[in-house]
């Protein structure tokens, strides 16, 4: 937000410490400077109008704080800024601009007119600037806020024009940048016009989904939300990321904001890769947008002339946080899709056909009337605490989910349920001995609905997944490597096919240590109660334990 102390020229010491000046290299650079100024001024509506790819004219109008008439000539002077006062301020920059060079750099290569009005001024003031000259300030009618018009861009530096692409291509950069920026400022309305045609109009506070769809295309509908992790004052992360299996050939669609500043995504590319690795994505790249919040004194935006990179004080810690937030969101996203798909599928048939021998089953009291189970809390991110009003009931979230998926797979196979083909096959690579084990399982997997094809040396691709276990043609998110390793698990009582389903179930469900929201727990518990064998996971471990009132009374020495 703009500071009320007004615009001053930076002192020589501060100027000496700021990274080399803004470079206006193409029309997009102009739009960036102007829109960032509008955001710094607290605008809630920003209108961008472009002609001829920006070489004709660029106009950015906002409803922000405006510039005092007395300050207007200073705004276009190099190092004239209201956002930074001394070198010490460089350590905690909270605005997008801070060097006071944006408007001056634009004026150096174009004709600039600024019209601005503060909320309490009766009338707007205008000033023209070009090259080194700033014209006199004149009164002009205009609404509160600021409007900057830029004409004859690069007329005096023809060599810059030579590096530009076609007007359409230059405009495309502007359009893409602005729509992307809009993701980080959902409360701000953005409109873009080219040659008099409206290109997009995002209203202030409209649903983020509209903006996501504009930037990422139709895959955005299945994006997984990264819910804000972290707390005020410390680093935090939120965002929206592609679901596993939906990916791109390059990293360009990995969008990163740090404290509202749009940056090159390379800073976090390692975290993206690490988080998605367990979801068997090889060679292609997930996409999405991440909003990273770090305390201003822990980030240095003054390292790059175009401010497209920053330095993070605790980069390692931040990267770990991001990686964990991504992985957690992906697992949660997988669970949610699974729950959605399970709740839409017919209940598994009761057939009790040969299953694991449940060594423990006698030592646990069966649930007579499970319908009344009420979920109370998650314990240790592993158990669901529930009650039927008298007994204390603990559900092992992983074991319970395994049981549900296992029965679903078995039902699929017995019904010869169709596998659901994937729109985009999902490729992965394995080690030589994993390949051997996987080859042996291919036929059974196919019967259960998971169709995996060899695809070059040690490479495979999943072309279809079990019906009802996927949502909207998306690849089930599970850890292929772990799944293959799990095929070896000894498990008495399970035949070969069941062992494969058990491993598939085990590696595609919620794990211990994963936070679940109350609705997720309720779905899990409800769904478990409709299973043939709700009491045990496919490997025979208990899913539910009950502590009866008697047992509780004994603990309190009442009996």
Query: What is the Cα–Cα distance from 552 to 378, expressed in whole angstroms?
Result: 20
Question: By CB under 6 A, is residue 66 in contact with ligand ADP?
Answer: yes
Applying CB under 5 A, what is the total number of residues that bind Mg ion?
A: 3
DSSP 165-189: --HHHHHHHHHHHHHHHHTT-TTSE
Residue 62 touches which of Mg ion, ligand ADP, none (Cβ within 5-8 Å per kind): ligand ADP
Residue 100 touches which of Mg ion, ligand ADP, none (Cβ within 5-8 Å per kind): ligand ADP
Question: By CB under 6 A, is residue 73 in contact with ligand ADP?
Answer: no
Question: By CB under 6 A, is residue 167 in contact with ligand ADP?
Answer: no
DSSP 388-432: SSSSEEEEEHHHHHHHHHHHHHHHHHHTTPPEEEEEEEEEEE--H
Say if strands 197-202 and 57-62 run parallel, antiparallel, or are unpaired.
Answer: unpaired
Question: By CB under 6 A, is residue 41 in contact with ligand ADP?
Answer: yes
Question: By CB under 6 A, is residue 100 in contact with ligand ADP?
Answer: yes
Among 18, 31, 58, 67, binds ligand ADP (CB under 6 A): 67
Query: What is the Cα–Cα distance from 305 to 173, expressed in whole angstroms?
Result: 19
Question: By CB under 6 A, is residue 404 in contact with ligand ADP?
Answer: no
Q: Which stretch binds Mg ion (CB under 5 A): 30-38, 224-232, 260-268, 521-529?
A: 30-38
Q: Which stretch binds ligand ADP (CB under 6 A): 30-38, 124-132, 264-272, 316-324?
A: 30-38
Question: By CB under 6 A, is residue 142 in contact with ligand ADP?
Answer: no
Neighbours of 238 (CB within 10 A): 18
Residue 194 CA to chain centroid, in angstroms? 29
Query: What is the Cα–Cα distance from 97 to 106, expressed in whole angstroms?
Result: 14
Question: By CB under 6 A, is residue 449 in contact with ligand ADP?
Answer: no
Burial 347-369 (b: 16+ CB within 10 A, else e): ebeeeeeebbebeeeeeeeebee
Question: By CB under 6 A, is residue 118 in contact with ligand ADP?
Answer: no
Residue 534 touches which of Mg ion, ligand ADP, none (Cβ within 5-8 Å per kind): none
Question: By CB under 6 A, is residue 293 in contact with ligand ADP?
Answer: no
Q: H helices of 53-131, where?
A: 72-75, 102-109
Nearer to Mg ion, 4 or 159 (CB): 4
x-marked contacts with Mg ion along 95-114 as a string, rule CB under 5 A: --x----x------------
Nearer to ligand ADP, 2 or 523 (CB): 2
CB of 5 to Mg ion, least distance (A): 16
Question: By CB under 6 A, is residue 83 in contact with ligand ADP?
Answer: yes
Among 82, 243, 278, 508, binds ligand ADP (CB under 6 A): 82
Distance set, CA 420 to CA 108, 327, 446, 450 (Å) = 60, 26, 11, 9
Q: Which residues contact 324 (CB under 8 A, 6 or more apart)?
A: 229
| 239's tokens | 């965002």
Binding site for Mg ion (CB under 5 A): 37, 97, 102
Binding site for ligand ADP (CB under 6 A): 2, 7, 33, 37-38, 41, 62, 64-67, 75, 80-83, 97-104, 146
């Amino acid at each position: 937000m703009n500071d009320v102390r007004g615009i001053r020229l930076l002192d020589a010491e501060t100027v000496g410490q700021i990274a080399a000046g803004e470079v206006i290299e193409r029309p997009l650079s102009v739009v960036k400077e102007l829109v960032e100024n509008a955001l710094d001024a607290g605008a809630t509506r920003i209108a961008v109008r472009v002609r001829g790819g920006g070489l004709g004219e660029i106009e950015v109008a906002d409803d922000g704080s405006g510039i005092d008439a007395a300050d207007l000539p200073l705004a276009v002077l190099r190092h004239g800024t209201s956002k930074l006062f001394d070198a010490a301020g460089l350590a905690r920059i909270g605005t997008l601009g801070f060097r006071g060079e944006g408007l001056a750099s634009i004026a150096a290569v174009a004709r600039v007119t600024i019209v601005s009005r503060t909320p309490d001024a009766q009338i707007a003031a205008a000033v023209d600037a070009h090259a080194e000259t700033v014209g006199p300030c004149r009164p002009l009618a205009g609404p509160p806020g600021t409007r900057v018009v830029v004409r004859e861009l690069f007329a005096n530096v023809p060599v810059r024009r030579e590096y530009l692409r076609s007007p359409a291509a230059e405009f495309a950069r502007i359009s893409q940048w602005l729509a992307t920026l809009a993701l980080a400022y959902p409360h701000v309305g953005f409109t873009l016009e080219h040659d008099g045609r409206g290109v997009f109009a995002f209203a202030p506070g409209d649903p983020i989904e509209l903006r996501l769809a504009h930037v990422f295309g139709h895959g955005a509908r299945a994006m997984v939300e990264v819910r804000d992790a972290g707390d005020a004052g410390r680093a935090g992360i939120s965002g929206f990321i592609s679901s596993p299996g939906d990916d791109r050939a390059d990293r360009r669609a990995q969008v990163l904001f740090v404290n509202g500043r749009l940056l090159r995504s390379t800073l976090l590319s390692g975290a993206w890769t690490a988080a998605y690795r367990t979801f068997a994505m090889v060679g292609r790249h997930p996409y999405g947008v991440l909003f990273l919040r770090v305390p201003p004194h822990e980030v240095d935006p003054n390292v790059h002339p175009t401010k497209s990179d920053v330095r993070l004080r605790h980069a390692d810690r931040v990267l770990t946080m991001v990686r964990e937030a991504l992985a957690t969101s992906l697992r949660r996203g997988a669970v949610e899709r699974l729950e959605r798909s399970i709740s839409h599928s017919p209940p598994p048939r009761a057939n009790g056909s040969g299953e694991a021998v449940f060594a423990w089953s006698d030592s646990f009291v069966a649930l007579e009337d499970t319908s009344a189970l009420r979920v109370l809390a998650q314990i240790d991110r592993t158990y669901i605490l529930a009650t039927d009003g008298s007994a204390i009931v603990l559900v092992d979230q992983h074991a319970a989910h395994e049981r549900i998926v296992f029965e679903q797979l078995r039902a699929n196979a017995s019904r010869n349920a169709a596998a659901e083909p994937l729109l985009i096959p999902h490729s992965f690579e394995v080690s030589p001995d994993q390949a051997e084990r996987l080859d042996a399982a291919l036929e059974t997997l196919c019967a259960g609905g998971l169709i995996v094809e060899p695809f070059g040396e040690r490479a495979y691709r999943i072309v279809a997944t079990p019906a009802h276990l996927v949502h909207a043609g998306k690849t089930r998110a599970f850890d292929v490597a772990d799944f293959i390793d799990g095929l070896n698990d000894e498990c008495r009582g399970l035949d070969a096919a069941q062992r494969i389903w058990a491993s598939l179930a085990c590696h595609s469900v919620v794990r211990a240590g994963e936070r679940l929201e109350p609705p997720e727990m309720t779905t899990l518990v409800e769904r478990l109660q409709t299973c043939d064998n709700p009491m045990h996971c496919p490997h025979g471990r208990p899913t539910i334990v009950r502590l009866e009132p008697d047992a509780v009374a004994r603990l309190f020495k009442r009996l």
